[in-house]
Amino acid sequence: MIPSRDLWKRLDALFYRCLELPPEARSAFLVQNCGSDHELRKELEALLQEVDEPIDSLQLPVREAAHEFSGHSEGTTLASGTRLDHYEIISLFAIGGMGQVYQRCAFSREVVSNPKDA
């Protein structure tokens, strides 16, 4: 929720002022300072409740993506020229959730194959 720059500034200012207050005083402070903007008050209350959660949950997807990125890279794929039965791998076509897709050739036909099915 960032509907406008002014509202974000208000949210920012009220958030940090609340942090300086003891938890039991925050609710009354917000009622007083948010006026009729109930949405802003609710948002601030929710934010303040979660303020001590660690940052890890935000870093984890990045770490996993970097891991997947490197884990599925060239090192674990079939090199061109590799023979599978009577097919020969020409090149890697794509990698998806279910496996790797290669271009291969057999008897001068070009077909696309998933090696996990082979």
Using CB under 8 A as the criterion, which residues of the chain lie in contact with other proteins when the complex forms? 1-2, 5, 8-9, 12, 15-16, 19, 46-47, 50-51, 53, 55, 57-59, 61-77, 92-97, 100-101, 112
Q: Which two tokens stand for residue 61?
A: 């997807």
Nearer to other proteins, 76 or 80 (CB): 76
The distance of closest approach from Cβ of residue 21 to other proteins in the complex, given in angstroms and rounded to an integer, is 14
Q: Report the distance separating Cα 43 and Cα 39, nearest Å.
A: 6
* Residue 18 burial by Cβ neighbours in a 10 Å radius (0-12, 13-18, 19+): buried
